[in-house]
Amino acid sequence: MLTLTCPCCGIRAEETELAPGGEAHLKRFGPGASDEDFESYLFARKNPKGVHFERWRHAYGCGKWFLAARCTATLEVFGTYKAQNPHPTPEIVAAIRAKRPDWTPDWTETSPAESLTE
């Protein structure tokens, strides 16, 4: 069973206490978006075998959304962080690179997490 620690309230919870919210770090589109952009947002999702970033809600706890970095092949959790962060924390990036040295982040701009671990 998948167990995640909510970074908002600090409680370690099993997945039955959480609600999945899909892929993290997506660019969301509002009114006025092109049909192609909105279609891409709705249907084009990554489905990697390996490191993946997801949204979760602590449904039976504090009720807040947070993000988790985990491996889809092994269910290994590298860490969780608040949903307001644009990228994972330096500790999570370091944990991912320790287990998967060939992993490279897929965000384009340089983040504090990336610069601290290089």
Tens of pLDDT, residues 31-60: 888 888 888 877 877 777 889 999 999 999
pLDDT at 118 over 50: no
Model pLDDT, residue 33: 84
Model pLDDT, residue 109: 45
Instruction: Output the pTM of the full model.
Output: 0.81
Looking at every residue in the chain, the average pLDDT score rounds to: 86
101: its two tokens: 């040295």
CA nearest neighbour of 83 among 24, 11, 23, 9: 24
Mean pLDDT of 107-113: 48
Domains assigned to the chain: 3-117 (3.30.2270.10)
Tens of pLDDT, residues 72-100: 899 999 999 999 998 999 999 999 999 99
Asked if 36 and 91 touch (Cβ cutoff 8 Å), the reply is: no
Three-class SS of residue 53? strand
